[in-house]
Amino acid sequence: MKIKHTVHQSRNDEGQFNIPLTHTQLCDVIYYLDWKIQEINDAGCDLEFPEIEDTLKQLQDYKHQLSISYNLFEVDRLK
């Protein structure tokens, strides 16, 4: 059985892709990435790809811009 996947790819001239995520999904990715980076740092290990910290910062900045633009809020994950 073949499964046909339809993926709309939107790529700009800088090689960036437009990947649709909900605000909640974006928050989940940021939360998990931050947690894993912190875990590695706390263990005294080096990141295999140190540029991931820049990626995390870019995601956090993007989330902040979206939150302001669309009046979104973050769900408290500790409850």
For residues 53 and 47, the answer to whether their CB atoms sit within 8 Å is yes
Residue 79 pLDDT level (bands cut at 50, 70, 90) = very low
User: pTM of this prediction?
Assistant: 0.76
Quote the CA–CA distance of 77 and 56 in Å, as a whole number.
Answer: 18
Question: Which residues have CB under 8 Å from 45's CB, separation 6+?
Answer: none
Quote the CA–CA distance of 61 and 65 in Å, as a whole number.
Answer: 6
Q: What is the pLDDT of residues 18-46, one digit of tens each?
A: 889 999 999 999 999 999 999 999 999 99
